[in-house]
Structure 1
């Protein structure tokens, strides 16, 4: 997962491989956070972002002048993902 502040881009790719497909709680948890981030950003920004999603890959490009609400959403996303990484370090 990357967050490139200079280009205002977040990219999440790959699979956790914590368990078999359909039972991988780590993948599901990250997917829920990613989908919530995208939907929340679309709601807050009224669609002023570009998002590409396909199996195991999401790329979000957002505009830097978004209000503090979007920055809070992004920070909350990384807090959540950090918690998952801490709980499941492998």
Structure 2
């Protein structure tokens, strides 16, 4: 199962997330659930990395992605960052709603 955990600060902004595990929906190379989760989360990271005023800590290994926001320089960068992260969460929740045996999304 893929576990997604999303952390929010008291204002409701996402500041950290991880995606861990393998879906096990199908064999390696044919697992559409794993592919969907990977595409959504890795595209979010690409978007975040293109915001010049945002600094993150990122760890990527086989079956594991962890990202933590370390610094946001401008309010406009924060708005862009949160738009990307909220869209990622929506996409991951949508995958989880269709494949709940394989993906779990938790917000804390």
- Confirm or deny that 1:29 pairs with 2:32: no
Contact 2:25–2:32 at 8 Å: present in 1 too? Answer: yes
Query: Matches of 2:7 and 2:90 in 1, distance apart?
Result: 16
What TM-score, normalized to structure 2? 0.75
8 Å CA contact 2:44, 2:85 repeated in 1: yes
* Partner Cα separation in structure 1 for residue 6 and residue 52 of structure 2: 19
How far does residue 5 in structure 1 lie from its aligned partner after superposition? 2.1
Q: Which runs of 4+ in 1 moved over 3 A?
A: 63-66
Instruction: Tell me the residue number matched to 1:73.
Output: 84
Q: TM-score, normalised by structure 1?
A: 0.89
Secondary structure of the 1:36 match is: helix
Which runs of 5 or more structure 1 residues have no equivalent in the other structure? Answer: none
Residue 4 (structure 1) shift: 1.8
Aligned length: 90
Show structure 2 runs of 5+ residues with no match: 102-108
